[in-house]
Amino acid sequence: MARSYVREARRRGLGTRRERIGPVVERLAQEHADAEIALRFRTDLELLVSVMPSAQTTDVNVNRVTPALFEKYRRPEDYLAVPQEELERDIYATGFFRQKAKAIRGTMQMLLEEFDGEVPSRLEDLVRLPGVARKTANVVAAELGHAHGIVVDTHVRRLSQRLGLTRNEDPVKIERDLQRIVPRPDWARFPHLLIWHGRRVCDARRPLCEECVLADLCPSSRVPVVPARVEVTSPVDGD
Ligand code: SF4
């Protein structure tokens, strides 16, 4: 169980989660104005296909594979027109290529049978697609402008805990905690902001607290700071 920084925030007099979330989003948005999804795609179908193999690999790896993939496979039918082994070879570099090729083909089949070959934007439809877990569905829905949840990856989990926004370990519970405090219009960009901050500043092993714009709002900051004066913008029910 990770140390709970929720209580630490109270001990340091930093304000409640609801009080701090506004300034946290605002400062991260200023600091990482370029924060966006790192995967490269041009269409809804390319978005879906690039997010699917991104599990257990890096976005950089996926971006190396997808330009050639998207040249060759332009419609759902194209993924079904070749033997599975051929698609496996085409996505080999992303790892777990057999599982991923099977999932992509299953998804293409369902897109054709149930969605007229289009990528649905509703979370409840996306999670029905073979191999599309909630995290993948959340990423796709958010990029399509229909954020139904908040994507929780390793960076989002680590930063949410360090910032004292959640006491939980389980991604589903962390997402629920974040949904309670992050304003809905920010659901899509919030994970990107945390991911980019995690990569650039709040490293897992060596967080650069002395350079961090959140240091006075963060209960796990390693530098001594005067607590920020935060405005209460919404009713506070606990922390
Ligand atoms: S103050 Fe340190 S621990 Fe807190 S978010 Fe910034 S880098 Fe991470």
Q: What is the CA radius of gyration of the chain?
A: 20
pLDDT band per the 50, 70, 90 thresholds, residue 234: very low
The pLDDT of residue 237 is 41
Q: Is 47 in the pocket of ligand 1 (CB under 6 A)?
A: no
The pLDDT of residue 26 is 97
State how far the Cα of 108 lies from the Cα of 81, in Å rounded to an integer.
11
- Residue 222 contacts by C-beta under 8 Å, 6 or more apart in sequence? 207, 209, 210
Q: Please check the confidence at residue 82 and state whether its pLDDT lies above 60.
A: yes
Look up 135 and say whether it is catalytic.
yes
- Residue 180 contacts by C-beta under 8 Å, 6 or more apart in sequence? none
| 20, 200, 221, 226, best to mutate for ligand 1 pocket (most atoms within 8 Å of CB) | 221
State how far the Cα of 17 lies from the Cα of 15, in Å rounded to an integer.
7
Look up 239 and say whether it is catalytic.
no
Per the listing, tokens 């039918």 go with 77
Helix 189-200 / helix 154-162 crossing angle, nearest 10 deg: 80
Question: What is the share, in percent, of the chain residues with pLDDT greater than 70?
Answer: 92
Catalytic residue selected from 90, 100, 135, 186: 135
The pLDDT of residue 238 is 45
Helix 189-200 / helix 17-31 crossing angle, nearest 10 deg: 70
Of residues 136 and 1, the one with the higher pLDDT is: 136
Q: Is 30 exposed, middle or buried (0-12, 13-18, 19+ CB in 10 A)?
A: exposed
Per the listing, tokens 């409640």 go with 16
Q: How many angstroms separate the alpha carbon of residue 25 from the centre of ligand 1? A: 14
Q: Is 165 in the pocket of ligand 1 (CB under 6 A)?
A: no
Backbone CA torsion sign across 177, 179, 180, 182: positive
What is the value of pTM for the model shown? Answer: 0.80
φ, ψ of residue 202 to 5 degrees: the values are: -95, 65
pLDDT band per the 50, 70, 90 thresholds, residue 102: very high
pLDDT tens digits along 4-59: 898 889 888 898 999 999 999 999 999 999 998 989 999 999 999 999 988 778 88
Query: If we measure between CA atoms, which residue out of 123, 148, 147 comes closest to residue 137?
Result: 123
Q: Is 201 in the pocket of ligand 1 (CB under 6 A)?
A: yes
Mean pLDDT on 98-123? 96
Q: Please check the confidence at residue 236 and state whether its pLDDT lies above 70.
A: no
Q: How many angstroms separate the alpha carbon of residue 237 from the centre of ligand 1? A: 25
| 214, 216, 222, best to mutate for ligand 1 pocket (most atoms within 8 Å of CB) | 214
